[in-house]
Amino acid sequence: MRLLVFTCFLATGVALRVRGVIDRESLLIAKFGFQKTVSTEDIDTRGYVFGNVSSNSDLDSGLTMSLLPGGYFDAFSDHVIDSDESCRAAFAEIGGAAYDSACNPSGAEDFLRRVPCDVGTLCKDEDQPKLVVKYNQFTYIVEDFQHPRFWFLSISPCRRQPSLNCTWKYTAVPNGVEIKYDIWLVNGNPYKTERNPLEYQFSFEKQDTAELYLVFLLTYAVLCVVSWCNWRLVKYRLGHPVFVLLASIVCMFLGLGLTSLHVCLFAVDGVGLPALGCVARFLRTFSQ
């Protein structure tokens, strides 16, 4: 697997907006936790994955993008894809479950898209343009009324060929060919304007974390003031234990401040400032 641009979020699991370029082989693009769908507000509580995947070369939609829930993905990711045989094995189970207008019209699951898609148009598998989020080439809608779940988005060099009895074939991506993607993964209706940004951009397991950080930040602000006052009582002496405590609280406060800034930016643009997060983690560790 060679990967030119790698987004930090794969590692942290807080996907959001992923952008990058791949030039061959199978790639896990993102892992994202979609919240449980509430049946009375289904439009606003579903998960949405939308974006563009295009290439600088005519690959004739020879790759397959899959959005898979954990169970399917575990089995799928065990395969190293490098031949027709491995494509067939990797997609055997998924291909049976996934809807495909030509090859499996009775499939119930919307897992697969042929990519890359032609610039300026919808992906070929989007047969209901109304469901595609505006200015994007594809849209997946995730609905789960039982529980929140992790889903995995990946692109594999395999194609299913209706002209060959729908068998899976390996697609060798020539050197120099790039596949560009720009994809959002969100919880909630992308068209809704008055949504909670702390929930929309965040994978379900992070939704409360964002709010918690802000609460911690406030608490530490109060602690800073209190311990500053204590330090004043000991006449601002540097070696005093009260000073050590103050220094540690200030470091923690700065760390939390940077983290909160990262989280707030992230809530707005889905990217944030990952470097800030790293400095913040250092400060928080240092403070202890």
Ligand X SMILES: *[C@@H]1O[C@H](CO)[C@@H](O)[C@H](O)[C@H]1NC(C)=O
Contacts to ligand X by CB under 6 A: 52, 120-121, 135-137, 164-165, 182
In angstroms, the CA 186 to CA 170 distance is 31
- Residue number, 186 or 263, with CB nearest to ligand X: 186
Encoded tokens for 31: 């892992």
| Min dist. Cβ of residue 136 to ligand X (A) | 6
In angstroms, what is the minimal distance from the CB of 134 to ligand X? 8
> Given the complex with ligand X, which of 51 and 62 has the nearer CB atom?
51
Question: In the complex, what is the shortest distance from the CB of residue 127 to ligand X, in angstroms, rounded to a whole number?
Answer: 16
Q: What distance in Å separates the CA atoms of residue 263 and residue 284, rounded to the nearest whole number?
A: 16
Residue 77 in tokens: 């990711």
Closest approach of ligand X to the CB of residue 135, in Å: 4
Task: Pick the closer one to ligand X by CB: 120 or 239.
Answer: 120
Smallest distance, Å, CB 53 to ligand X?
9
Q: Which is nearer to ligand X, 100 or 182 (CB)?
A: 182
Asked if 159 and 63 touch (Cβ cutoff 8 Å), the reply is yes
Contact 26, 157 (CB under 8 A): yes
The residue among 161, 157, 192, 223 whose CA lies nearest residue 23 is 157
In the complex with ligand X, the residue whose CB is nearer, 140 or 204, is 140
Nearer to ligand X, 53 or 254 (CB): 53
Least Å distance, CB 121 to ligand X, is 6
Q: Tell me whether residue 53 or residue 63 sits nearer to ligand X (CB atom).
A: 53
CB of 141 to ligand X, least distance (A): 18
